[in-house]
Amino acid sequence: MEVSTAESIHRYWQTANARDWEAFAALLHEDVVYTIPQTGERVGGRAGYTDFNATFPGDWQVEILRVLAEGDQGVSLTAFRLGAQEQTCITFFEFEDGLIQRIVDYWPEPYEPPARMSKYVERD
Amino acid sequence: MEVSTAESIHRYWQTANARDWEAFAALLHEDVVYTIPQTGERVGGRAGYTDFNATFPGDWQVEILRVLAEGDQGVSLTAFRLGAQEQTCITFFEFEDGLIQRIVDYWPEPYEPPARMSKYVERD
């Protein structure tokens, strides 16, 4: 059965939320590489990357806010929630033979903006 | 002439890099809304959002690293460079009638990772 890129991204988060690590691992290429450019961290291989997720502490849940897919690439915008904490996560996916081969995660944090030159900027 | 979502996103950054604000504004819906969720900032309207970009200080240039488009939505991953500084920028676009109607920018910064439970995590 052919599964679309967008559908695989939805399954990725659904199986993670369900802690169904067998179904999660089945979405991954054996040589999947996961990176977090902000920290320089990297996890390689299906077994290692599944372990990284399975051992991630806490009763976290991920809400999918947006998924875009084009061919064998896709991106998700999600809200990662742990208790009262919420973090935004943006994840780029690359697929090969219908399996996730490359995952790049970004975790943007709130920050204090610089002074703006334009008078048109409003702030919540 | 019909211009694709991906092509419009490329033009958006190309015209910004060229400081061609007339061509930049022509890509935008009159009621475009730009937001930065990390700061709570918001700029509304074609004139205001063009001004925000035109007044952004410094001799910055943006390199497009990745563009994904699906229908009337798209995302770009870019490197924003100002002198020796480089920042990662992730931008979600929504189009209406071929014009950019909604722009959401994320600016993830480097951070020190927490202790990881998995032994499979490597670091640069």
Q: Is the pLDDT of residue B2 over 80?
A: no
pLDDT at residue number A2 = 65
- Percent of chain B scoring above 90 in pLDDT: 97
pLDDT at residue number A40 = 97
What would the two tokens of residue B44 be?
């509304």
Instruction: Average the pLDDT over A20-47 and give the result.
Output: 98
Whether residue A120 and residue B44 make contact (CB cut-off 8 A), yes or no, is yes
Residues 87-116 of A with CB under 8 A from B: 88, 90, 92, 106-113, 116
All residues at 6 or more sequence positions from B36 whose CB lies less than 8 Å from its CB, including other chains: A113, B42, B104, B105, B106, B107
pLDDT at residue number A124 = 84
Is the minimum CB–CB distance between A66 and chain B shorter than 8 Å?
Answer: yes
Cβ–Cβ under 8 Å, residues A107 and B111: yes
- Percent of chain B scoring above 70 in pLDDT: 98
- Span B44-71, pLDDT tens digits: 999 999 999 999 999 999 999 999 999 9
Is the minimum CB–CB distance between B49 and chain A shorter than 8 Å?
Answer: yes
For residue A40, which residues of chain B lie inside 8 Å, CB to CB? Answer: 123-124
- Span A99-116, pLDDT tens digits: 999 999 999 999 999 999
* Whether ipTM exceeds 0.85: yes
Q: Is the pLDDT of residue A1 over 90?
A: no
| Angle (CA) B47 B42 B110, round 5° | 120
